Amino acid sequence: YVGITRAEEVCTISFAANRRVYGQWQSALPSRFVDELPEAHVEVLTPPGLYGGGFGAAAPGGGAPGGGIE
């Protein structure tokens, strides 16, 4: 939150699509706070071939695909 409020022009938020928990790979979702960002100020970017969860994915019912938010 502090980093977002201090960004002067552009703030890029990313997350790990997969992570290891106790030696096992798990798919990860972005933090729920990401869904609180105003949609008018969010651009969802997904590199080809990567996980498709992003803005809206942490909310029930999913949302727009993306691996990073700018």
Per-residue pLDDT tens for 11-43?
888 888 888 999 999 988 888 888 888 888 888
C-alpha 14/C-alpha 30 separation (Å) is: 8
Band (pLDDT 50/70/90 cuts) for residue 64 is: very low
Q: Residue 32's pLDDT is what?
A: 84
The rounded radius of gyration (Å) of the Cα atoms in the chain is 13
What is the number of structural domains in the chain? 1
Closest CA to 59 of 17, 28, 19, 31: 31
Relative to beta strand 44-45, strand 18-21 is: unpaired
pTM of the entire predicted model: 0.49
Q: How far apart are CA 36 and CA 51, in angstroms?
A: 21
Full residue range of the structural domain in which residue 58 is found? 2-69
